[in-house]
Amino acid sequence: MKVVILAGGLGSRLAEETELKPKPMVEIGGRPILWHIMKYYSHFGFNEFYIALGYKGEIIKNFFLNYHSLSRSLTVNLRDGATSYLDGESENWNVHLIDTGLHTQTGGRVKRLARWIGNEPFMMTYGDGLCDVDLQKLIEFHKCSGRIATITAVRPPARFGALQIDGDQMVRFAEKSQIDEGWINGGFLVFQPEVFEYLRGDESSLESEALEELSQQGQLAAYTHEGFWHCMDTLREKRSLERLWSEANPPWKVWS
């Protein structure tokens, strides 16, 4: 199954990093978050990626154009330019880098990929979120639902502690649990090709138009995920992911 990754947004809420690079290229542990996302999908056997480019898309192109050589030791013969690799192996990924416009909205970016996706189901995610969702179970759920689209519903990480007060007496002080938060779209989706009929051009929003319409028609299923999920919208969230990566077992690092 093909995997679409939306990687063209401006990332304005992470301006400290995105003035010079697109948000999917912001690094976690020395690697772009885009790489982490792709490694996660690849672990489940999904190695065909369609990356929808927009803002500073040339940086993502350069990353993959040079990936093979920069990730391995090599020898270069300066006389004829011949290159030989001395160690290691690169990921077995087939990466399609598709320009989808600078100001195109999310629905429009997916719509522009229709000619490459063809008449088959596909997966989609955004270039700024990590999780430990079992993708095979997600796909099986989608197939059993019989609907056009399935979203992964998650609870966002809690931002503040919970206080219980009786008068001026603190009764309870505790970190707020993630389960206290409501369900949101976690961004790991599965679509039937019919979804393209709900995407009406560059200005269409996947979330507020297509998914909303699918929901109203009973064609949107929700796969609930109680496990790890973390987005990277702000510098604070980037630092949180960096901290998790530095620990012994980052929740999304399922590969060896």
pLDDT at 28: 97
pLDDT at 3: 98
CATH topology of domain 2-246: Spore Coat Polysaccharide Biosynthesis Protein SpsA; Chain A (3.90.550)
Residues 107 and 200: beta-carbon distance below 8 Å: yes
| pLDDT above 70 (res 139) | yes
Q: Residue 25 — pLDDT band, cuts 50, 70, 90?
A: very high
| pLDDT above 90 (res 254) | yes
pLDDT at 111: 97
Quote the strand ranges of the chain, DSSP E: 2-7, 27-28, 31-32, 48-53, 74-76, 83-85, 94-99, 122-126, 129-131, 149-154, 162-166, 169-174, 184-185, 189-191, 220-224, 229-231
Pairing of strands 169-174, 162-166: antiparallel
Q: What percentage of the chain exceeds 90 in pLDDT?
A: 77
Average pLDDT over residues 89-105: 94
Question: Is residue 85 exposed (0-12), middle (13-18) or buried (19+ Cβ within 10 Å)?
Answer: middle
pLDDT tens-digit readout, 64-84 = 999 988 888 889 999 998 988
Q: Residue 16 — pLDDT band, cuts 50, 70, 90?
A: confident
| pLDDT above 60 (res 172) | no
pLDDT at 256: 83
pLDDT at 168: 52
| pLDDT above 90 (res 156) | no
pLDDT at 135: 98
Average pLDDT over residues 19-29: 95
| pLDDT above 80 (res 157) | no
pLDDT at 248: 86
pLDDT tens-digit readout, 107-116 = 999 999 999 9
Average pLDDT over residues 54-65: 96
| pLDDT above 80 (res 165) | no
Domain ranges for the chain, please list them: 2-246
Residue 184: strand, helix, or coil: strand
Q: Residue 181 — pLDDT band, cuts 50, 70, 90?
A: low
Residues 153 and 222: beta-carbon distance below 8 Å: yes
Q: Tell me the average pLDDT of the chain.
A: 91
Measured CA to CA, the distance from residue 203 to residue 94 in angstroms comes to 29
